[in-house]
Amino acid sequence: MYLAEKEQFVIPTPEWVSNNEVANEVAVDDKQGRLIARKQIESFQSSLQNHVGSETGIMDQVNDNGLSEFFVGGAYIRRIIIPANIAIVSKIWTKERFWIISEGEVTFKTEMGTQRVKAHYTKIVPPGSKVALFTHTDTIWYAITGATGTTTEEVEKQVTADDYAQCSYPWDKIEGGDSMFDIVES
């Protein structure tokens, strides 16, 4: 989905201030905050579905034209080249990953908040989340995680999920804690 106007991007795209600025920041173990942010990302997915017929935007086309994968010593490395003015939503990742944005400017929303960053940028992203993003310029983005597979299909089974119930969250480890499915009404 090529978007000529950033205003069409449902997730707010703040002006760039610094790579450390996080709008609506949420702590990793803040169940309520993460569920609210998750709901916003899912709303964005619905908008993409209605607009382009896919809840991931044109992620498949971007992957076909700009994805390189590397399998190195138990690490899975994805390098994706995303053209400017693209909005996409990732899959749910079950494992922690390390991001490197080596080129470009992008706004992304995760369960931890919304950020607009410029290359060179790095971040560790917790397991059990997905990302909605909009590229302001051509962007090169790396995602690195541990995986034992040696093919895309094997690794995807290890590091992605179809449903949040397949993931573990900090609040799941609290004995007698609430169910993660007690979604907050906003």
pLDDT tens digit sequence for 81-113: 999 988 888 889 889 999 999 999 999 999 889
Please indicate, yes or no, if residue 140 is contained in any of the structural domains.
yes
* Cβ atoms 37, 112 nearer than 8 A: yes
Poorest-pLDDT segment among 37-51, 67-81, 118-132:
37-51
The residue range of the domain holding 158 is: 22-171
Please indicate, yes or no, if residue 100 is contained in any of the structural domains.
yes
Run of H or E residues at 153 = helix 152-159
Please indicate, yes or no, if residue 74 is contained in any of the structural domains.
yes
Q: Please give the residue that has the higher pLDDT: either 113 or 16.
A: 113
Amino acid at the residue 181: F
Q: What is the pTM of this model?
A: 0.78
Please indicate, yes or no, if residue 106 is contained in any of the structural domains.
yes
Count of domains observed in the chain: 1
For the chain, what is the mean pLDDT? 80
- B/e letters for 121-157, b = 16+ CB within 10 Å, e = fewer, are beeebbbbbbbbbbbbeebebbbbbebeeeeeeebee
Please indicate, yes or no, if residue 149 is contained in any of the structural domains.
yes
Q: Which residues contact 66 (CB under 8 A, 6 or more apart)?
A: 80, 81, 82, 83
* Residue 7 pLDDT class (50, 70, 90 cuts): very low
Please indicate, yes or no, if residue 119 is contained in any of the structural domains.
yes
Please indicate, yes or no, if residue 179 is contained in any of the structural domains.
no
Please indicate, yes or no, if residue 58 is contained in any of the structural domains.
yes
* Residue 127 pLDDT class (50, 70, 90 cuts): confident
**Tell me, what CATH number does 79's domain have?**
2.60.120.10
